[in-house]
Structure 1
Amino acid sequence: MAIPSKEVPVSVCIPVYNGALHIRDAIQSILNQTVIPQEIIVSDSGSSDGSENIVREEARKAQATLIILPTKTRGMVANWNSTIRAASGKYVKFLFQDDLLHSTCLEEMVKVAESDKRIGLVFSPRDLFVEPSVEDDWITRWLQQHQNLSASFGNLKISQPGSLLLRSPDLLEQPLNKIGEPTAVLVRRDLFDKVGLFNENMRQLVDMEMWVRLMATSHVGYIPAALSSVRVHARQATSRHTTEEIDR
């Protein structure tokens, strides 16, 4: 792969907690992008497994500025928000510690975001990588329901008013989160000043609640090709199962 030379105004935000198993691969997926992000921001919420040391090792390889926020026990959603507060790029691109960005993710998402100044959120489908330890009847059903999250939105365009998507007749049908996990999303940074940060008082559907706020105030950009891979492992599966029971 050729070494990228073009920088894009993106802050890649990586909240970390005991992510040593996969954080190196996550950061490597940023270093393998076809463009260079303005900065990479890592916020560690008190990991005890050496995650921060791995991040520092990877920082030496990065062409982009890599900022490691002081280690502090913050809680999951507060850790997400700490990366947003530190972001100085025009756009925020989330990457969770277990996930991966495909090599053209930043380039393609920024291209769509820049094509229409009304766009505040860009999303695309994501690939799901299920570890063998969670392959059971429940996860099979979950995958069938959550593989194509945005199907009920119909024929999505490159750009459409978020308010139009909020009027979808199937909006409150499962799956409730029709945009996807934060790893599948890019957000214009200034919109967080307008709608606020993620709600730290919520236990479930934190990301979906944020997407609704963003859709109510801006256009939404869509890319039909998967640009990220989201990992589903045993701990996540337990959490997702609990979420599903709560939603019923």
Structure 2
Amino acid sequence: MKISVCIPTYNQSEHIGLTIRSVMVQTLLPDEIIVSDDHSTDNTWKILETLAAEISILRIIRQKFNKGISKNTDSCLREAKGEFIVRLDSDDALLPEYIETLSKLLTHHPNAGYAHAAVREIDQQGYAGEPRRLMRNAGFQRSPDALRAALKGYRVAANILMFRREALEKVEYIQCSQDFAEDYYLSVCIAKAGFGNVYSPQILSAYRVWTDQGNVRKRRKLAEINGLNAVLSDALMPAFAQHHWDTKPVVSAKQRFAIAHSGCLSWKVYSKQEKAELETAILELSSAPATKFFIWTHKNGLGKVLESYQHTAAVIRQNIKKLILTRPQTR
């Protein structure tokens, strides 16, 4: 059984070395590590060249121009020769038992298109933070259940996954044209193709969480909304139709996401033109009366009360989740 690790990267000179070395201390070493540099403008490529001279299984690829997250990741995955393929971001890290544990799960569950696990958050300096676990049972999840679960979002603790190459080939890798939610899109396509997934609650990797310096996340809001629309309209809606299921739950999910993101229309970081583009994207996601009401509320400066309520509800849900996940298991 051959195993590949794929690491798409762009301007991550500070962390790429640690990411690669975390692969090299696995209890089960992969057969190859492929790093695809999306034409970085920092020292990432020089670091990769130095590491490639030291690590025999490391193969590095430099894109001739910046392709963007989706296409660079797709290119990297297509280069892999392994039966199982780990997708790892270049600022995250694997814990030593990641490959051994998840490869066993995929071997034991031949109908799983990918395996994933709980993660430990780390900050920009590498200090450990909170664990992330899913509110679901450990083990295998059937493809129909995965499709229904996808109505609530991308159902992984973090985007650090081990794919079965057969599943990637069946869906023709990443078909999403957006540079946001392409991973969510891929998971829906894999479920639509009939593959389930398998989850371990064991913490097997470190996921880096960044502070939003310079309002970077807010500036990516339009891409986020367009990415979600692509997932729900172009992947999840056809999947429900393929199963001859009622598509109303997908329509409802689109409305929930649209309402959740309508709050950005009250942010001062955007120009008038940018807000107009955001409003258009939100309405493309859902033009339901409830969505229009929330849009009007935020545009007219009345969104603070709604945001306060939504924030309080989110905190309550998060605390309940923590209580459930940390509750001692009884037999």
Query: Which has more helix, going by share of residues?
Result: 2
Q: In 1, Cα distance between the equivalents of 2:158 and 2:132?
A: 12
| Contact 2:176/2:186, CA 8 A, preserved across alignment | no
Question: What is the CA-CA distance between 1:49 and the residue it aligns to?
Answer: 1.0
Q: Which moved more, 1:187-196 or 1:233-242?
A: 233-242
TM-score (norm 2): 0.60
* Bigger relative contact order (CA 8 A; separation at least 6): 1
In structure 2, C-alpha distance between the alignment counterparts of 1:167 and 1:70, rounded to whole Å: 38
**CA RMSD of superposed structures (Å):** 2.6
Match for 1:239 among 217, 237, 243?
Answer: 217
Instruction: Describe how 1:131-170 pairs up with structure 2 within 5 A.
Output: 131=124, 147-148=132-133, 150-151=134-135, 154-156=136-138, 158-168=139-149
1:30-49 to structure 2, matched below 5 A, reads 30-49=23-42
* 2:48 paired with 1:67: no
Structure 1 segments, 4+ long, off by >3 Å, are: 234-238, 240-247
Q: Partner of 1:220 in structure 2?
A: 197
CA shift in 2, pair 1:23/1:40, >3 Å: same
- In the TM superposition, residue 232 of structure 1 has moved relative to its aligned partner by 1.4
Distance 1:12 1:90 in 2: 11
Q: Distance in 1 between matches of 2:87 and 2:155?
A: 17
- Take 1:62 and 1:35, find their aligned partners in 2: how far apart are those partners? 16
Indicate the structure with greater strand content: 1
User: Structure 2 CA distance, aligned partners of 1:76 and 1:211?
Assistant: 16
SS for the counterpart of 2:114 is: strand
Find out whether 1:197 has 2:173 as its counterpart: yes
Is 1:206 matched up with 2:164?
Answer: no
- The two structures have a TM-score, normalised by structure 1, of 0.79
Structure 1 unaligned segments of length 5 or more: list them. 1-7, 133-139
Cα distance in 1 between the residues matched to 2:77 and 2:218: 24
From the CA coordinates, give the structure whose radius of gyration is larger: 2
Report deviation, 1:238: 3.5
1:127 maps to 120
How many residues are matched?
220
| Unaligned residue ranges in structure 2 (runs of 5+) | 226-256, 261-331
Q: Structure 1 residue 240: deviation in Å?
A: 7.5
CA contact (8 A) 1:42 1:67 kept: yes
Determine the structure 1 residue equivalent to 2:151.
172
Structure 2: distance between partners of 1:238 and 1:103: 32
SS state at 2:177 partner? coil
**Match of residue 5 from structure 1:** none
